[in-house]
A and B are shown apart, each in its own frame.
Chain A
Amino acid sequence: MATKVTTPKPDQLVTSIDFTPPKTGWMDTPTIIKPGTFCWGAKGKNLATVEFPNARDWNPSDQDWKLPENWQEIFLKGMEDLLGKYRSFKVFMDICVRCGACADKCHFFIGSGDPKNMPVGRAELLRSVYRKYFTASGKMLGKVAGARELTVDVLKELWYYAYQCTECRRCSLYCPYGIDTAEITIMCREMLNLLGLNTDWISGPVANCYMKGNHLGLEPHAIMNSIEGMIDDIETVTGVRVNPSFNRKGAEILFVTPSGDLFADPGTFTCMGYLALFHELGLDYTWSTYASEGGNFGFFTSNEMAKRLNSKIYAEAKRLGVKYIIGGECGHMWRVLHQYMDTWNGPADFLEVPVSPITGTRFDTAKVLKMIHITEFTADLIKHGKLKLDPSRNDDLVVTYHDSCNTSRGMGLLDEPRYVIKSVCNNFYEMPENTIREQTFCCGSGTGLNASENMELRMRGGFPRANAVKHVKEKHGVNMLANICAIDRATLSASMDYWVPGVRVTGVHEMVANALIMKGEKERETNLRGEPLPGKEGN
């Protein structure tokens, strides 16, 4: 029967954080897999859909994880392969001097006090196995050299902590050696994947995306139905009926966004923002019901799976014959696009370097990828004075901006979103400088940890970000947390309700469309959410 998991109240959670390390050494401190801090195991049918190994239903709270008999051999062979394939992984296994600079930079350590959640501690779980089987000193000296056997308990520990890391890379920023701890987690998850140790929240979207083109499993008519609903709502608010096209060959631009924008609030309001903006520009663009997902949960399983899911974006661009691609407000989507897509599925030599049809700006930064981020596109429009904006329509908002880990640390997109927000809102305040831009704190639930059964873990991991929001709420009256990531829009909504009630969450293009003066619009009474605009409350 279903397991009931309860989440502690915020004050209980805060007082439960204890930074006193256990009396025993870390190798001798057993790991207990605690309800509320892990995700349900994958369903066998979802693993089978994408031909993942050891497809079966499994439950992490069961003693028996239904591993194949030779699981240890599979894991170590997988590790050997990855060490051979990725020089970076081998270097990261070898060079850490345990200085501890990363220790208190991790949101999960700050929110849990668990030493195995220090990035160095988490990596050590795997390094100890590496030493035992892949270094001479570890083979000979064992524990003295920091090496340990790969037992079932060690495997379970690796799994538990690989899913308490959101691969946000904040720790890497402070590492004097530049060790990318996210990559260690990525490798660890990839090895666990060889044993079918996936989670339901990740493998479900992966199977959906493989079969239907997007994480939510929206079929073409469901996508169109959802967007048609948005078209009606935009007309109600603005008096303008927008008319997007789908799967249209010969369009100049293909637009790809995470499916969360199509089917989950508040992402749908961001999506209405894109629709209104593109209509106002008369942009020659098309949606695709095939390449209907910008995000890539495959990236949280294995490199090969991520590549397979990513391939449809270029394939669809080629089929439709577009010139280039604009991508929506998504986080990990951009890490994947920016750092992997060209080598996986490129070269996109059938596309052109993006040129804005409105301003003539040539985006040479996207010379290889042929894909630009919508905030780059919109910032350029505003810079050239191509949009008529009335920021006073957003005067009820006091806004701060959360840098998504992937767009900030993963691709350096720091100023464009801020420029856009400041152009469409009069009240904007930054959170403290060690919590934004490259140093941003994770939402606490990225890399597919945004399930509901692990809510305690999510709220622990979301604590540092929420704490910075609380600071600007108290100091400046901030009531709106803007971001450019679909996972953020879903997860920060939950963490704000929990930690900082009264602060809501929005995508940037929702605010753009609210401020945008459209040709032929009626006098606006409400924003895209149907709430009265400032000064129109009595109407």
Chain B
Amino acid sequence: MAMMDFQGKQIEVDDDGYLLNLDDWTKDLAEHLAKQDGIDLSEAHWEVINFLREYYKQYQIAPMIKILVKEIGKAMGPEKGNTKYLYELYPGGPAKQACKYAGLPKPTGCV
């Protein structure tokens, strides 16, 4: 399995660069992963990441985009609860990119 060197610590990641252990995640690490894709995490990015981590804590899976959109809309208003807004923040796809920065595993199966 691949290893990522970060702040002198060896962190296990899968072949797509997703963290293998949720506990390895830190805010600094999220900033670092985003920087690799050329993204500086803003307040707006963090709102999504924090939501994803909360959701994962409760359901043990990353939410579908549909749920993400709906829940973000409920919590932060309709101007943020839409696919366009989320894709502007995360051009690589809110599910894939934001989940990676949030330290969540990618979903598998018939998806």
Listed in ascending order, the chain A residues whose CB lies under 8 Å from chain B are 1-3, 40, 43-44, 57, 59, 200-201, 204-205, 208, 214-219, 221-222, 225-226, 229, 258-260, 263-265, 267-268, 295, 297, 330, 450-453, 486-487, 489-490
B54 shortest CB reach to chain A, Å: 13
B14 shortest CB reach to chain A, Å: 7
Neighbour of B110 across the interface among A43, A44, A486, CB < 8 A: A486
Chain B residues with Cβ under 8 A from A451's Cβ? 108
Interface centre among B1, B15, B65 (most CB of A within 10 A): B15
Neighbour of B109 across the interface among A40, A208, A221, CB < 8 A: A208
Chain A residues with Cβ under 8 A from B64's Cβ? 226, 263-265, 268
CA distance A369 to B110 in the complex (A): 24
* B107 engages A2 (CB within 8 Å): no
Listed in ascending order, the chain B residues whose CB lies under 8 Å from chain A are 1-4, 13-17, 20, 58-61, 64-67, 70, 107-111
13 chain-A/chain-B pairs, Cβ below 8 angstroms: A1-B3, A1-B4, A1-B13, A2-B16, A3-B15, A57-B1, A59-B1, A200-B14, A221-B58, A222-B61, A229-B66, A258-B110, A265-B64
* B13 engages A215 (CB within 8 Å): no
CA distance A1 to B61 in the complex (A): 24
Given A1-B2, A1-B17, A297:B67 Cβ within 8 A: no
Chain A residues with Cβ under 8 A from B61's Cβ? 216-219, 222, 263
Neighbour of A221 across the interface among B16, B20, B59, CB < 8 A: B59
Chain B residues with Cβ under 8 A from A297's Cβ? 109
CA distance A473 to B66 in the complex (A): 28
Given A218-B61, A219-B59, A264:B111 Cβ within 8 A: yes
Chain A residues with Cβ under 8 A from B65's Cβ? 265
* B16 engages A215 (CB within 8 Å): no
CA distance A487 to B111 in the complex (A): 7
Chain B, Cβ-Cβ closest to A230? B66
- How many contacts A-B (CB < 8 Å)? 98
Given A43-B14, A204-B108, A205-B109, A217:B60 Cβ within 8 A: yes
Chain B residues with Cβ under 8 A from A205's Cβ? 108-109
Neighbour of B60 across the interface among A219, A295, A330, CB < 8 A: A219
Chain B, Cβ-Cβ closest to A262? B64
Given A1-B17, A217-B60, A265:B66 Cβ within 8 A: yes
CA distance A487 to B3 in the complex (A): 31
* A263 engages B59 (CB within 8 Å): no
Chain A residues with Cβ under 8 A from B59's Cβ? 218-219, 221-222, 225
Chain A residues with Cβ under 8 A from B14's Cβ? 2, 40, 43, 200
* B108 engages A201 (CB within 8 Å): yes
A219-B59, A222-B59, A264-B110 given. 13 additional CB < 8 A pairs? A3-B15, A40-B14, A40-B16, A205-B108, A208-B109, A216-B61, A216-B111, A219-B61, A222-B60, A229-B67, A264-B64, A268-B66, A451-B108
CA distance A413 to B14 in the complex (A): 39
Chain A, Cβ-Cβ closest to B3? A1
A300 shortest CB reach to chain B, Å: 12
* A2 engages B111 (CB within 8 Å): no
Chain A, Cβ-Cβ closest to B58? A221
Chain B, Cβ-Cβ closest to A485? B110
CA distance A182 to B87 in the complex (A): 40
A458 shortest CB reach to chain B, Å: 14
Neighbour of B70 across the interface among A200, A221, A229, A259, CB < 8 A: A229
* A259 engages B2 (CB within 8 Å): no
* B110 engages A2 (CB within 8 Å): no
CA distance A229 to B74 in the complex (A): 13
- Of all A-B residue pairs in the complex, the 4 with the closest CB atoms, nearest first, are A260-B110, A215-B109, A2-B17, A486-B110
A288 shortest CB reach to chain B, Å: 17
* B2 engages A2 (CB within 8 Å): yes
Chain A, Cβ-Cβ closest to B60? A219
CA distance A216 to B62 in the complex (A): 10
CA distance A330 to B61 in the complex (A): 22
* A216 engages B108 (CB within 8 Å): yes
A299 shortest CB reach to chain B, Å: 13
CA distance A482 to B110 in the complex (A): 16
Given A3-B15, A222-B61, A490:B110 Cβ within 8 A: yes
CA distance A221 to B57 in the complex (A): 12
B2 shortest CB reach to chain A, Å: 6
B89 shortest CB reach to chain A, Å: 19
Chain B, Cβ-Cβ closest to A202? B108
Chain B residues with Cβ under 8 A from A259's Cβ? 109-110
CA distance A453 to B56 in the complex (A): 24
Neighbour of A59 across the interface among B15, B60, B107, B111, CB < 8 A: B15
CA distance A163 to B20 in the complex (A): 25
Given A2-B15, A452-B16, A487:B60 Cβ within 8 A: no
Interface centre among B3, B4, B109, B111 (most CB of A within 10 A): B109
Chain A, Cβ-Cβ closest to B65? A265
Chain B residues with Cβ under 8 A from A263's Cβ? 61, 64, 107, 111
Chain A residues with Cβ under 8 A from B4's Cβ? 1
CA distance A2 to B37 in the complex (A): 13
Chain A residues with Cβ under 8 A from B70's Cβ? 229
Chain B, Cβ-Cβ closest to A215? B109
B15 shortest CB reach to chain A, Å: 4
A445 shortest CB reach to chain B, Å: 10
* B107 engages A216 (CB within 8 Å): yes
Chain A residues with Cβ under 8 A from B3's Cβ? 1
* A267 engages B108 (CB within 8 Å): no
Chain A residues with Cβ under 8 A from B15's Cβ? 2-3, 40, 59, 200, 453
* A260 engages B1 (CB within 8 Å): no
B35 shortest CB reach to chain A, Å: 14
Chain A residues with Cβ under 8 A from B66's Cβ? 229, 265, 268
